[in-house]
Amino acid sequence: MRADAAALSPEGLITIGDAELHYRWIGPGPEDAPTIVLLHEGLGAVTTWRDFPDRLAEATGHGVFVYSRQGYGKSSPCALPRPLDYMTREAVEVVPPLLDAIGFRRGVLLGHSDGGSIASVYCGRFDDTRVEKLILLAPHFFNEDCCVTSIAEINRIYGDGLREKLKRHHGDNVDCAFRGWADSWLHPDFLNWNIEADLAGVSVPTLVVQGKDDEYGTLAQIEAVRRHVSAPVTVAHLDDCGHSPFRDRSNATLDAIFSFLQS
C-alpha cells in the first residue's frame, strides 16, 4: 500500500491488501482540491465510466479518483462465489485502506448502483469527517422484484454476445465479474438482502440521482434515503433515463452534481 499520494501516477495499479486495483486519477491531487471517489456498478470498471470522470473533474474543479474493484477490469481476480455480503465487505475492508492509500483529505464518495450501496455502508459505519457529501446514482438498499427480473434476463443472454461486450472492459476477469455479480443477486437468500440499517447511519448531505425508467429499482430506494438519512437529501429524478444516469443523461447528471456540490 502506498501512503504517499504524490507517488500515484495518473493511471496504474495500487495494492490494497492482497489485491492490485486498477485506477485512474483525473485532475488535482488531494493537497490542492477536494477529491471525488467513484465506486462503480455491479458490472462496472474504470473504463465503463467512459469520459464521465474527466467531465466531472472539469465541471467541478475537483480531483477524481476511479478504480476497479477486485475481480473487475484490470484489477486482480477474485475467488468465486462471492459472499452475499460482498458490498458490505468492500465498504468495511477495502474502502478505508484505499482512501488512506490515495491520501484522501476531504471530498465526496460517488457510487453507482452497487457502488452506491458500498458508499452508503461506508458513510453509515464510519464517522469519517473527510467525507463531506455523498452522491448516489441509482443505488440499492434492498432487493426488489424488478431487479431480480432484469438480472435474470441479463443472465440468460450472457453467453449470447454480452460476454464479448463485457470482455472489452474486464478482459480475463469477465467471468469473475459477471458470475460474481449475477449469481449473488439471483441467489435465493439475496432476496432478503437489506442495508437500510447502515443507511440510517449516514449523516452527510446526500444527493440521489435516479432515472424514471430504471429497470433495476423503484422510487422505494429514494424513499429509503429520505426516511433514514439524518442530513439533507436532494433528489434528481430524471426523465428518459434508465439505470445509468451518467450515461443516459450525462449533462443532467453533471448539472445535478455541480449544483449539489455548490449548495
pLDDT digits (tens, 9 = 90+) for 82-140: 999 999 999 999 999 999 999 999 999 999 999 999 999 999 999 999 999 999 999 99
**Three-class SS state of 231:** coil
Average pLDDT over residues 73-89: 97
Per-domain residue ranges of the chain:
5-262
Task: Cite the DSSP H helix spans in 15-134.
Answer: 52-60, 86-89, 95-101, 114-125
Quote the CA–CA distance of 258 and 253 in Å, as a whole number.
9
Pick the CATH number of 5-262 from 2.170.190.11, 3.40.50.1000, 3.40.50.1820, 1.10.3720.10: 3.40.50.1820
Q: Please state, for a pLDDT cut of 90, what percent of the chain lies above it.
A: 97
pLDDT of residue 41: 98
pLDDT of residue 2 exceeding 60, the answer is no
Instruction: Kindly provide the b/e burial profile for residues 41-54, where b requires at least 16 CB atoms within 10 angstroms of the residue's own CB.
Output: bbbbbbbbbeebbe
Q: Is residue 164 packed enough to be buried (19+ CB in 10 Å), middle (13-18) or exposed (0-12)?
A: exposed
**Three-class SS state of 20:** strand
Query: Which residue type, as a one-letter code, is found at position 78?
Result: C
pLDDT tens, residue by residue, 7-17: 689 999 999 99
pLDDT of residue 161: 92
pLDDT of residue 1 exceeding 80, the answer is no
CB–CB of 252/52 below 8 Å? Answer: no
pLDDT of residue 125: 98
pLDDT of residue 5: 55
Query: Closest Cα partner for 107 from 32, 198, 17?
Result: 32
Residues paired with residue 234 on neighbouring β-strands, in sequence order: 207
pLDDT of residue 26 exceeding 50, the answer is yes
pLDDT of residue 164 exceeding 70, the answer is yes
pLDDT of residue 8: 87
pLDDT tens, residue by residue, 165-214: 999 999 999 999 999 999 999 999 999 999 999 999 999 999 999 999 99
Cα 72 to its chain centre, rounded Å, is 13
Average pLDDT over residues 234-260: 98
pLDDT of residue 6: 53
